[in-house]
Structure 1
Amino acid sequence: MHTQVAIIGAGPAGLLLSQLLQGAGIDCVVLERHDRAYVESRIRAGILEQITVDLLARVGVDARMRREGLPHDGFNLAVDGSTFRIDMTGLTAGSKVMVYGQTEVTHDLIEACLERNTPLVFEAQDVALHDIESDRPFVTFTKDGQARRLDCDFIAGCDGFHGVSRRSIPEERLAAFERVYPFGWLGILADVPPCGEELTYSNHERGFALASMRSPTRSRYYVQCGLDERLEDWPDERIWDELATRLGPEAASHMTRGPSIEKSIAPLRSFVCETMRHGRLFLAGDAAHIVPPTGAKGLNLAASDVAILSDALIRWYGEGEACGLDGYARRALARVWKAERFSWWFTGLTHRFPDMDSFARKMQLAELDYIRGSRAAQTTLAENYVGLPLA
Structure 2
Amino acid sequence: MANYFGFVGLRVASGHSLSRSQVAKQTLSVLDVQQRHALISLLEHQKAPFDQVVESRFAMNRALDGLLIGERVSEEHFLTLGQRYGQHEAQLGEVIAEAFGKIIQTLTTEQKQQLDAIRHAHLNGKGQELALGHPKPKIKLNKDDKKELTNLAARLLSWSTGNEAFNDFEVVGKPSQHFGFVSLRISSNHGIKRGQVSKEVMSLLTEDQRKILKDAAQSNIAEFNHFLEQRGSLMRTLEVAQKGQAIESENVIRYGRDVGELEANMTWQQAMAMLTVRSSLTDEQSQSLLRIRNKYTASGGKNLPKNSVERGRQLYSQCSLCHSSRSISAPNLDAIVGRKVASDESFNNYSTAIVDFSDKHDTWTESLLKQFIASPKALIPGTYMGFTGLQDTKDQQALVDYLNSLK
What TM-score, normalized to structure 2? 0.25
Decide which structure has greater helix share. Answer: 2
Which of these two proteins has the greater Rg computed from alpha carbons? 2
Decide which structure has greater strand share. Answer: 1
What TM-score, normalized to structure 1? 0.26
